[in-house]
Structure 1
Amino acid sequence: MFAAFSAAWVLPALIGPLLAGLLTTHVGWRWVFLGMLPLIALGLALLLPALRRLGAPEGLAVPASARRWWALLAGIGVAALQYAGQRLDPVALGIAAVGAMALVAGLRPLLPRGTAGMRPGLPAVIGARGMLAGAFFGMDALLPLTLTQLHGYSPTTAGIPLTAGALGWAVASQLQGRRPDVARVVLLRIGFLLLAAGLAGTALVTVPALHGWPTCVSWAVPGLGMGLGMPSLSVLLLGQSREDRRGADSAAFQIADVTMSAVCVGIVGVLVAAAAMDLLAFPSSVLLGIAVLTALALVGAWLSPRAGAAPGPAVPASTLVPVTEFARSRGDGE
């Protein structure tokens, strides 16, 4: 099931970089973001009727409305940190401190206790999701800019590595779905190691004589790591989450993903801003960003066994089982 989700994701990832590059070149970069609005509206139009037909399971507690305000506070914290990173002046220190406090305060009620410390079990699953997403998407954002700045790539050509990464992600997702006999924690660790190797390999982008072309192929390696790691984490989440907590735990899963991605993109943004202010040479800022993200992936590989350390209910061979059981129970009650 999760392999199918990845296959659905790969088509936009294949077409998106090309379209974004063409729009940036011939129309303007703002239209890349404005062009998302009709797609969002179309997605909502397809999704909302299906959600209404599903209804809500009986006997489950309604989440507290305060959660949305904690989420807003966390989002403000991330925005403040990113803004502070672009200023790089004494005022930025105060903004960063306030942003960090807002982020921590907002996340504490939204994530399971022990997520930051990668406590074995569900907290480690959610923490690993954040580490995996942050390390990948931090470089995914930096790589096209690096190819443009160092090697003069057009916006369209600079998107080629992103397409390679999408292909690697889709291929690995399909392969892991055909090997239910391999432990998910093993696949997760392999995914982190592939991600770390691919991130380290992107350092070649700073070598002038290579003109950036190795990354057009090598970025598929981190994609392979994501294709192994992301579905494995989703299966581990379902296996360790109680039925009445799956909605809240899945929300925490996504929050960790989005938050760490934003934080890691912000970190590389700070390094780029430092290079723009002549505080660092641009190649040095890229290499420093690669080192930080590679270290994050290696820490994820080291801690990945914790994601399967807590006992929980057996994970069904098909992740559709919980859905079909829920649908069957609703049908029996009618």
Structure 2
Amino acid sequence: MVDKGPKRNSAAALAVGIVVVEFAAAVSRFVASTLLPVIAPDLEARGQLALLLAGSSLGLFVAIPLTGPALRKWGARGTLGVGVAGYLVGLIVSATALVGWVFAVGQFISGSAGGLLALFGFSAAIKHLDDSTRARVIAISASMWILPALIGPVATLGMEHLIGWRWALLVPVPAVLLGRLLIVRAVKDDDLGPTSKRPIGRMLLIPIGAAGVMFGAEHLVISMFGVAVSAVGLLAVMPRGTMRLNRGVPSALIAMLLFGLGYFGADSLITILLTDGFGVSLGKAAIVLSAAPIAWGLTSLIQAGLGFGGSSPLLPQIGLALAGISVLTLAIGLEYWPSYSLAIVAWALSGVGVGLAYPPLYVLASKPQADGVGPSELAVAVVTAEDFGGLMGRAVGGAISSFGGDSGLTVAYALFAASLIGAVAVTGRTKTAS
């Protein structure tokens, strides 16, 4: 059951804090990606783009095994303090870097601290917010990516011109501090630590394997080995019965993994699909590329306003089915009707499907259970399932783009569609017997 401890205003502060932090994460992501063409030559790191890009993403995977021990050792306030300090230190290191590897180290530090803070926020939400409120928070959080996606690149380039890229990197700091202040007010000295000790050594295989995928993207053997290593770490994170598809949370976690594989795998190849397969210019491809995340955010926002979501499997099944059919349409269109109009409509509809599915699926995967699994363990399991699925999707995408030949993209998108449709079937097992 959800903890009834905090007053209504504390729960509201927690919800607003999580949304504000998600907005800061979106701004950070667009600022960093937009500034990369400026940062790389300034640091003489044009040949180190993978290193510059991987730091923040890899940091989240490192935060996964560290969240439980951090909460156990430092408690709620201490973990928040360490997370905020680490985030600021990482940004300062990146902003003052003179060479590429120092910038990457700073991004890694801030990414690890940001992941720790995000997992802490999700843990608090699981403990203190009921299902319908959590669904609304997740839906509104998704919509926080709309504004940065629309104006982020232009605004970032304007700031870079006025104050330079180093100061522009620090723009998200006030939002992060505000969000963390609100969360601190809500959780105070809550006990969010794990209820059991997980094998940290095996959990650390997750970031090690992720590094193999990120840095070995052009080498099939290294990339697949990275996925296999991460999978071993995944087993140490998931609640009992997950790999057996037990009803309830275990099945929801597998559905989340399949969603990550299907959607983020398709997303990783969408630019190549459009330019190489559909013969679309890079400028037109950029329009299609933004269609899905904007549709995702808008659909989530509408859903939150209407109060849909909750803990029924029906809405995520409808959304995942729509996303799967849309991705399959791209695969079929590539072979028989490579139309730009088809591409933009199909990819936008995939975003609508994900916008419908993601908030309630997240709730289903993080419902407090009576089997002794604590809030922090549930939060880590949900984030790991989604991100491991995305890792597998990117690995498949990299393998297909390198070795798939003329029909590689069609096969890849058919596989991504099958993963999303598979998630529909698995989601049906999330309903437990009453």
Question: Same fold judged by TM-score > 0.5?
Answer: yes
When residues 52 and 224 of structure 1 are mapped into structure 2, their CA distance, relative to the original with a 3 A threshold, is: same
Matches of 1:303 and 1:57 in 2, distance apart?
34
The answer on whether the counterparts of 1:191 and 1:228 sit within 8 Å (CA) in structure 2 is yes
Shift of 1:79: 3.0
Structure 1: give runs of 5+ residues left out of the alignment. 312-334
| The one of 219, 222, 230 aligned to 2:347 | 219
Distance change (3 Å), C-alpha of 1:12 and 1:169: closer
Distance 2:194 2:309 in 1: 37
Partners of 1:227 and 1:273 in 2: how far apart? Answer: 31
User: d(CA) in 2 for partners of 1:5 and 1:304?
Assistant: 18
Q: Once the 2 structures are TM-superposed, how far is the Cα of residue 137 of structure 1 from its aligned partner?
A: 1.3
Q: Deviations over 1:206-248 (max 9, x none)?
A: 2586443321122122222212211112332454435972221
Residues 277, 338 of structure 2: 8 Å contact kept? no
Identity %: 21
**Distance in 2 (alpha carbons) for counterparts of 1:65 and 1:260:** 24
Q: CA deviation at 1:18?
A: 7.5
For residues 182 and 299 of structure 2, what CA distance do their matches in structure 1 show? 29
Match of 1:290 in 2: 413
Which residue number in structure 2 is paired with residue 55 of structure 1?
A: 188
Aligned in 2, Cα 1:200/1:14: closer, same or farther, shift over 3 Å? Answer: farther
Q: Give the match for residue 117 of structure 1.
A: 244
- Kindly indicate whether residue 432 of structure 2 is the aligned counterpart of residue 309 of structure 1: yes
In 2: Cα distance, 1:103 partner to 1:133 partner: 15
Question: Which residue of structure 2 aligns with residue 245 of structure 1?
Answer: 374
Contact 2:328 2:413 in 1 (8 A): yes
RMSD (Å) for aligned C-alpha atoms: 3.7
Query: Does residue 1:132 correspond to 2:265, yes or no?
Result: no
CA distance in 1, matches of 2:366, 2:238: 16
Aligned to 2:391: 262
Give the CA deviation at 1:135: 1.0
For 1:36 and 1:258, the matched residues in 2 are separated by 28
Superposed counterparts of 1:58-77, under 5 Å: 58=191, 61-62=193-194, 69-77=201-209
Name the structure 2 match of 1:107.
234
Q: Offset of 1:73 from its aligned partner?
A: 1.4
Q: How far 1:62 moved relative to its partner? A: 4.9
Distance 1:253 1:40, change over 3 A: farther
How many Å separate the matches in 2 of 1:271 and 1:203?
A: 14
Deviation at 1:118, TM superposition (A): 2.3
TM (normalized to structure 2)?
A: 0.57
Between 1:256-265 and 1:170-179, the stretch displaced more is 170-179
Letter in 2 for 1:288: V
Quick one: which amino acid aligns to residue 384 of structure 2? I
CA distance in 2, matches of 1:70, 1:35: 39
Query: How far off is 1:97 after superposition?
Result: 6.8
